[in-house]
């Protein structure tokens, strides 16, 4: 709503203006029409007021994520790191490392598990556009079987950090100490609390999900596009009936492999 536009007058016009307004515009309209007795206007004001409150809470939530990042990481080069696929039966372990600028702040950042697929994909695109640097690393299932998850997690995190091309002053990692970098600081539930870790969780999830979806055509019986390699009932049933594919972590599938045939 431009300041030089004629203010809406009919109840319908006021309601439409409130619905289409930005947060700041909505505040002005709410103040202007607060005493308007028309029911349609008052209903539109209440809807707009609730929307403004939600948006301001979200803005404050994201602001605190960036503040904690600065508090824990300092004002140098800070990289956030997170993984996805640790508990999957098939596919790789994927780690992302992200360095974000202080501004612009990315609205909607959160633990990737708290977001739907469309929101994750939208945010992943924004993160890649805004980020100072993004690094990604995969460790395949055979390496996981050979080395174990802890060693693979440490290796993948180190590779993702290196893939950013940056020399970080601090590396903030979701979870418990892993020893992936000499300047790491691990933060429990960091993917929901710190902006750069949240960004890394989203990039890792979107990247690995796309990879698992790509395997669906090759192994349609295993429902990989839906389960992303995790132990859904359909996925486990397929392992029991058909045996593991070359994508499966044999060390994770022992309880399900009634048929030992490999593809």
CA 220 – CA 116 distance, rounded (Å): 23
Predicted pLDDT of residue 89: 97
Q: Is residue 153 part of a domain?
A: yes
In a domain, 102, yes or no: yes
Q: What does the pLDDT read at residue 5?
A: 55
Measured CA to CA, the distance from residue 10 to residue 138 in angstroms comes to 58
Are the C-beta atoms of 117 and 210 separated by less than 8 Å?
A: no
pLDDT at 1 exceeding the cut of 60:
no
Asked if 89 and 198 sit in the same domain, the reply is yes
Alpha helices, H only, the chain: 11-20, 23-32, 39-73, 117-130, 141-147, 149-163, 190-193, 195-214, 224-227, 233-242, 250-253
Q: Cα separation of 83 and 182, whole Å?
A: 18
Confidence of residue 256 (pLDDT cuts 50, 70, 90): confident
Q: Is the pLDDT of residue 260 over 60?
A: no
Question: What b/e readout covers 186-210, taking b as 16+ CB neighbours within 10 angstroms?
Answer: bbeebbbbbbbbbbbbbbbbbbbbe
Confirm if 202 and 65 have CB atoms less than 8 A apart: no
- What percent of the chain stands above pLDDT 90? 78
Return d(Cα 203, Cα 12) in angstroms, integer: 42
Are residues 93 and 182 located together in one domain of the fold?
Answer: yes
* Residue numbers of the domain that contains 53: 11-70
Single residue among 41, 70, 99 that ends a domain in this structure? 70
Chain segment 39-78, per-residue pLDDT in tens:
999 999 999 889 888 889 889 999 999 999 999 999 999 9
Q: Do 35 and 106 lie in a common domain?
A: no
- % of the chain exceeding 70 in pLDDT: 95
How are strands ordered across the β-sheet holding 78-84? 133-139, 93-99, 78-84, 170-174, 184-187
Q: Mark whether 82 and 184 lie in a shared domain.
A: yes
User: Quick check: is 260 in a domain?
Assistant: no
Do 117 and 209 fall within a single domain? Answer: yes
Euclidean distance between CA atoms 5 and 48, whole angstroms = 20
Q: Between the CA atoms of 72, 184, 187 and 172, what dihedral angle is there, to the nearest 10 degrees?
A: 60
Q: Same domain for 86 and 138?
A: yes
CB 210 within 8 A of CB 91: no
DSSP state string for 199-238: HHHHHHHHHHHHHHHHTTTTSGGGTHHHHTTS--HHHHHH
Which residues on neighbouring strands pair with residue 186, listed in sequence order? 173
Residue 152 in any domain: the answer is: yes
């Amino acid at each position: 709503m431009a300041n030089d536009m004629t203010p809406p007058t009919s109840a319908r016009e006021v309601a439409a203006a409130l619905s289409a307004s930005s947060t700041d515009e909505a505040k002005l309209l709410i103040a202007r029409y607060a005493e308007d007795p028309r029911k349609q206007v008052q209903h539109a004001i209440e809807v707009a007021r609730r929307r403004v409150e939600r948006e301001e809470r979200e803005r404050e939530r994201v602001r605190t994520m960036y503040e904690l990042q600065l508090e824990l990481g300092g004002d140098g080069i800070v990289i956030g790191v997170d993984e996805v696929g640790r508990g999957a039966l098939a596919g790789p372990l994927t780690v992302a490392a992200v360095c974000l600028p202080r501004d612009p702040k990315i609205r909607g950042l959160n633990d990737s598990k708290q977001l739907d697929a469309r929101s994750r994909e939208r945010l992943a695109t924004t993160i890649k556009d805004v980020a100072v640097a993004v690094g990604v690393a995969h460790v395949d299932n055979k390496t996981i079987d050979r080395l174990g998850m802890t060693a693979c997690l440490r290796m993948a995190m180190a590779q993702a950090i290196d893939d950013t091309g940056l020399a970080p002053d601090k590396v903030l990692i979701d979870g418990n100490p892993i020893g992936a970098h000499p300047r790491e600081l691990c933060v429990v539930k960091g993917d929901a609390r710190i902006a750069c870790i949240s960004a890394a969780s989203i990039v890792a999830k979107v990247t690995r999900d796309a990879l698992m979806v790509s395997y669906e055509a090759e192994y349609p019986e295993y429902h990989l596009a839906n389960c992303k390699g995790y132990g859904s009932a359909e996925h486990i049933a397929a392992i029991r009936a058909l045996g593991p594919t070359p994508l499966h972590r044999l060390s994770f599938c022992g309880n399900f492999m009634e048929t030992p045939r490999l593809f």
